[in-house]
Structure 1
Amino acid sequence: IYAEKKRHMKRVLLGAVAVLLACELYFWLFGNSLRALVLGTVVFFTAFNLLEASLPSLISKVAPAGGKGTAMGVYSTSQFLGAALGGILGGWLFQHYSLSGVFLGCAAMALLWLVFAVTMREPPYVTSLRLPLSAAALHEVGLAERLQAVPGVADAVVVRDEAAIYIKVDTQQLDRMSLERLIEAAPATC
C-alpha cells in the first residue's frame, strides 16, 4: 500500500531484495541455532511475501495495455520454472557444498537480482481500465490515438473482437468524465 500510494515501488522492491540478501547471509553466518533460524525465517518471509504481492502489480504496470494477460502468463510461467530450477540448483549446491553453499548461492542470486533492480526505471503508476465501445466507436479511426492525448492516459488499445478498449491511466491526472465523453462522442457513421 505504501509503495502504491507514495509512488515508491522501486524503493520498496529494492528494499525487499536487499532484505532477502541480508537474510541469506545471516543464515550462512548464524544458521546453526534454532533461535537464529526462526528470527531469520520471519524476516525472510516478510520480504518474500512483500515481493510475492508487488511483483505481479509491477508486471501489470509495465506491460502494454493490450498485452497484460500475456505478460502475466510469462511471469507466472517464469515463477514456476524458477521454483523448479531453484530446487534443482539448491539440491546440487547442498550435495557439493553443504548448507552453507546453499545460503551463499542464494545470496549470490539475490545480489545479482539487486544489481539488475538498481538499474530499473521507476515504473509508471497506472491502472488498467476496460471500457465497452459502441458499434460506432468501435469502427472510429484514430480513437486510441486521441485517447492517448488525454492527460493521464498512458496507453490505449482497441480490441474489436471484445468491443472494448483497454486503457492504462494515471488516476491522479485523469479526468474520467472527459475520457468517457470522448469515447461516447464517436460519430454515428463511419
Structure 2
Amino acid sequence: MNPIERRALAGLASLYVFRMLGLFMVLPVLTVYGKDYQHSTPALLGFALGAYGLSQALLQIPLGTLSDRIGRKPVIFVGLAVFALGSVVAAMTDSVYGLIAGRVLQGCGAIAAATMALVADLTRNENRGKAMAVIGASIGVAFMLAVIIGPALAGAGGLSAIFWVTAALALVGMLLVWRLVPTPAPGERRIGVRRGNFRQLLQSPGTWKLVCGVFFAHLLLTSLFVPLPLLLVDRLGLPSAEHWRLYGPLMAGAFVVMLPLMRMAERRGRVSQALAVALVGLGAGSLALLPGFSGAAMIALLAVFFIAFNLLEALLPAQLTRTAPPEARGAATGLYATLQFLGTFAGGSLGGDLYGHGGASAVAVMGFVVLLVWALLWWLLRTPSAETQAG
C-alpha cells in the first residue's frame, strides 16, 4: 500500500476499534446488570440490546447514499456526535425505557455504510481486500477487548460506566476523523448514485448472499448474548464481574485461529467455501446454550462460534465492496449495514422474548432454525453469477 492508503487504513481501523469497543462492551453485561433497572423484564432487556440495531438499520441506506452526495467525512463526524449523545442519555437513566431511548439514539449515528465506503474510496482495487480484512480484524480486536473490559467496567460502575466510556470513545473517534483520516479527492468519489447501478445490486444473487449472511450472523450473535452472561453465572458459577477471565483467553484464541483461515481463503480464492464453513461453525453457539454440556465443552463450542463469527466479519464486507460499482458503493455498504443492524435488532428482540418464555433452550432452538433458513438461502442463491460475485 502507498502512504495515503496506509494512513487512511490506520485511521479508519482505529475508528472502528474505538466505536465498536463502545458498542460491544454492552453485550456481555446488559442482561445481567439491566435486571436492576426500573420496569425491567427479559423481553424489554432483549429489546434494549437490539434497539440500537433498529435505528441503525433504518438510517444506513439514507446516510450511506447521502455520503455519496456530500462526502463521507461530514456524515461520519455528525454520526459520531449523535452516537455520543445517545450514550450520555443511556448513562444517565435508571429505567429500562430510558435505556431503550439511549440505545435508539445511539443507533441514529449510523455511520457504518459511510465508513466502509470511505475505506473503499481511499484504497485501490488490488488492495481493497487487504483493507477490508484489516477493518474486519479491527472489529474482531474491538470485540475481544470489549468482552474483557465490559464485565470489569460494569463490575466497577454498572452499565452507566460503560455508557460514559462509550461517549468518550465517540469523541476520540471524531478527533481521528478530523486529524488522521484523509479526505478523498473528487476523482476518488463519484457524486450521485445512478439508479441502474443500485438496481443492479438489488437484482444480484451475490449481493443478497452477502447481506443475508451478515443479517443472520448478527442475529445469532445478539441472541446468544441474551442468555449467555446469565448461564456463565448459573452453570459455571462465574460472577459477572469475573467474566473477562473467560472471555479474554477465549477471544484471543479465536482471533489467532481466525487470521490464517482468512488469509488462506483470500489467497486461494476459496472465500465462498470459507463463508459456508463459517455458517456451520455458528451453530456451535446454539449448542452451547443447551443443557447437559460440561463447562469445558461449553467453552469449546463458544470458541468455535467466535472463530466463525470473526471470519465472517472479515470476509463479507471485502467481497461486497469488490463487486459494487464505485458510484453506488455507499449505497451498497448501506444495504449491507442495514441488514447487519436489522440482525442485531431481531436477535435482541427475539432472543429476549424467547428467553423470557422458554429459557436458554428456546433461544438455542431459534438459532438452529435460523441456520437452516440461512443454509436454504445459501443454496438457492448459489448460481453461476452469484459464485462469480461472492467468491
1:24-65 deviations in Å (ceiling 9; x for gaps):
111112x21233222222221232xx2222222111111133
Q: Tell me the distance in 2 between the aligned counterparts of 1:37 and 1:11.
A: 28
Report the Cα distance in structure 2 between the residues aligned to 1:92 and 1:170, rounded to whole angstroms: 43
In structure 1, list runs of 5 or more residues that go unmatched. Answer: 128-165, 172-190
> Once the two structures are superposed, what CA deviation does each residue of 1:58-102 show, in whole Å capped at 9, x if it has no partner?
111111332111101111111122122122111111112222211
Q: Tell me if the contact between 2:77 and 2:177 (Cα under 8 Å) persists in the aligned partners.
A: yes
How many Å separate the matches in 1 of 2:137 and 2:326? 28
SS at match of 1:123: coil
Paired residue for 1:54?
Answer: 114
Distance in 1 of aligned mates of 2:326 and 2:169: 34
Does residue 160 of structure 2 align to residue 100 of structure 1?
A: yes
Letter in 1 for 2:95: S
Would you say 1:45 and 2:45 are equivalent positions? Answer: no
**Matched residues in 2 for 1:116 and 1:88: separation?**
24
| 2:91 counterpart residue number | 28
Instruction: Go from structure 1 to structure 2 and tell me whether the alpha carbon gap of 1:123 and 1:91 turns closer, same or farther (over 3 Å shift).
Output: farther
C-alpha separation in 2, matches of 1:51 and 1:91: 26
Q: Does 1:18 align with 2:77?
A: no
Counterpart position of 1:86: 146
In the alignment, is residue 68 of structure 1 matched against residue 128 of structure 2?
Answer: yes
The Cα of 1:117 is off from its aligned counterpart by: 1.3
Query: What residue identity is the alignment partner of 1:2?
Result: L
What is the alpha-carbon distance in structure 2 between the residues aligned to residue 84 and residue 51 of structure 1? 22
Q: Structure 1: which amino acid aligns with 2:100?
A: V
Q: CA offsets per residue over residues 126-172 of structure 1, 9 Å max, x none?
A: 37xxxxxxxxxxxxxxxxxxxxxxxxxxxxxxxxxxxxxx9xx986x
Find 1:114's aligned residue among 174, 177, 184: 174
The answer as to whether partners of 1:10 and 1:122 remain within 8 angstroms in 2 is yes
How far apart in 2 are the matches of 1:86 and 1:170?
33
Contact 1:93 1:105 (8 Å CA) reproduced:
no
Give the Cα–Cα distance (whole angstroms) in 2 for the partners of residues 28 and 109 of structure 1: 14
TM-score of the two chains, using structure 1 as the length reference: 0.59
Q: Which has the higher strand share?
A: 1
**Structure-2 residue corresponding to 1:123:** 184
- State the Cα deviation string for residues 96-132 of structure 1 (Å, max 9, x = none): 22222111111221111111112233234437xxxxx
Quote the Cα distance in structure 1 between the aligned partners of 2:94 and 2:176.
Answer: 31
Structure 2 unaligned blocks of 5 or more = 1-64, 191-321, 328-391
Q: Distance in 1 between matches of 2:178 and 2:138?
A: 21
CA RMSD of aligned residues (A): 2.3
* Distance in structure 2 (CA, Å) of the matches to 1:58 and 1:67: 14
Provide the C-alpha distance between the structure 1 equivalents of 2:135 and 2:162, rounded to a whole number of angstroms: 25
CA distance in 2, matches of 1:123, 1:36: 39
Identity of aligned residues (%): 21
| Structure showing the higher helix proportion among its residues | 2
